[in-house]
Every structure is written in structure tokens, then in C-alpha cells.
Amino acid sequence: MKQNLALFDLDNTLLAGDSDYNWSLFLISEGLLDAKTHQDRNEQFYEDYKNGCLNITEFLAFQLKPLSEHSKKFLDELHVKYMDKVIRPMMTKKAQALVDEHKAAGDLCVVITATNSFVTKPIATAYGIEHLLGSDPEMVNGEYTGGVTGVPTYKEGKVIRLNQWLEARGTKLSDYEVSHFYSDSHNDLPLMKLVTNPVAVDADEILTAYAKEQAWPAISLRD
């Protein structure tokens, strides 16, 4: 049996919420970030993302700086609390059922998200998905520097990173007779246009309109 490919966006797709945006709010609630200086910028970056005009370089510098201020050990322990308090309530039964369906079919399942891999790897694992492509924080001597490594997985960056990842596995996108990509965001149109089965999930207005024009399926994964 020839293997198919199943790609999943994470925030507002598999999750009923945004793990990046909520990570900043969580750090504020834990007293690790100053609300006054941080919250307004967090809100503005989130609006820019939704409007398709996010400066990913500026955003990652903002989002990864707190990682450089704490040890990896402390951050990993903090993330366990974040999973329990914030993320698990955003994981839906419908999303898990969709992932399980693709896994049962033997599909190669990958989460591909603009959010950094420190925040998102444990979430992908919680859904039972081994492979994650996210914006990768730079590490030196086992600790985060606040920088980023490689191409951020945002807009066309998702296409670049997926192609690099598949090439490293000795394949390419066209090798997969069937390729699915589930996303809520018009920011993911560059990759959605390349797969055989793009699916709009609880989509924003721009993606909803485009999906309707193209007769792409539109679903909801909210319970």
C-alpha cells in the first residue's frame, strides 16, 4: 500500500485556540513577563498574523526572547503546567478523531506550524503525531539563545521547510498520490494550493471565501 501524506496546522485547527498567543498570556499569569510591556505587543502581533501582515522575524525575536532568560530544565517543567492548564482544554475530540483516522490509514502525519517548536512539539506528541515542523529556536550548549534556526514555517516558509524535510527522507511532495493539508488560515494558502486535498478547518474569512471558490471541503473540529 502506497503511503499518503497528512499535514495538520496546529493553532485554531487541531487546537481550539492559539498556542503561541496563549503562551505569552501564560507567562504573564506566571509572573514571568510584565503585562504592561508585553500584552499590547502580543495582541498586535496576533492581529497582524490574522491580517496576513505579520513580520515573522520581529515576532520570533519577541516570542523567543523569554526562552533565553530561563534554563531549558525550568522551561520544560513550565511547559508541563502550560499543557495541563491551557492546552489540553483546547484539544478537541474531533481533532483527535481526525488524527487517529489518518494514523489508522497508515498516512504519514505531520504537524506544520508557524509557532516555535518548543511550544508545539509536546502538543503534537499529545495528539500522537511524531513529526513536527515548526519555527526552530536556536540552542547553544543545550540552552535557548532567543534566536531562530533555519527558515520559519510561515506562509511560503511552510513549503520550503516541508520540501527540505521530505528531501531529507528521500521523497518529495509529488511522490504522494494523496496529500492532505488541514488549516484555518489564509496564511497557509501557499502550501494548501500544492496538496491534492486541501481542507479548510474553522477557517478565517479569507480562506473560507477562497475555499468556496475552489470547491475545497470545509469542516469544523470544534466539539
At residue 45, the pLDDT reads 92
pLDDT in the model for residue 39: 86
Q: CA triplet 88, 83, 100: central angle to 5 degrees?
A: 50
Does the pTM exceed 0.85?
yes
Annotation says 107 is catalytic: no
* Structural domain span for residue 82: 5-219
Residue 185's contacts (CB-CB under 8 Å, 6 or more residues apart) are: 9, 12, 13, 49, 50, 203, 204, 207
Which of 11, 18, 184, 204 does the annotation list as catalytic? Answer: 11
**Distances in whole angstroms, Cα of residue 113 to Cα of each of 34, 64, 71:** 26, 15, 24
As for how many domains the chain has, the answer is: 1
Measured CA to CA, the distance from residue 17 to residue 91 in angstroms comes to 9
pLDDT at 1: 52
Half-sphere exposure of 111 (CA within 13 A, CB side): 31
- Determine the residue type at 150: G
Alpha helices per DSSP H over 15-148: 19-29, 35-51, 56-64, 72-82, 93-104, 117-126
| Distance of alpha carbon 158 from alpha carbon 185, whole angstroms | 13
Quote the pLDDT of residue 174. Answer: 95
Taking phi over 0 as left and psi of -120 to 50 as alpha, with beta for the rest, 52 belongs to left
Q: Catalytic residue at 223?
A: no
CATH for 27: 3.40.50.1000
**Percentage helix, strand, coil, to 5, in the chain?**
55, 20, 25
Q: What is the pLDDT of residue 2?
A: 85
One pLDDT digit (tens) per residue for the chain, 223 residues: 589 999 999 999 999 999 999 999 999 999 999 898 888 898 999 899 989 899 999 999 999 999 999 999 999 999 999 999 999 999 999 999 999 999 999 999 999 999 999 999 999 999 999 999 999 999 999 999 999 999 999 999 999 999 999 999 999 999 999 999 999 999 999 999 999 999 999 999 999 999 999 999 999 999 8
Question: DSSP letter at 155?
Answer: T
Phi, then psi, of 211 in degrees rounded to 5: -60, -35
Question: Could you tell me the three cell numbers for 23?
Answer: 503562551
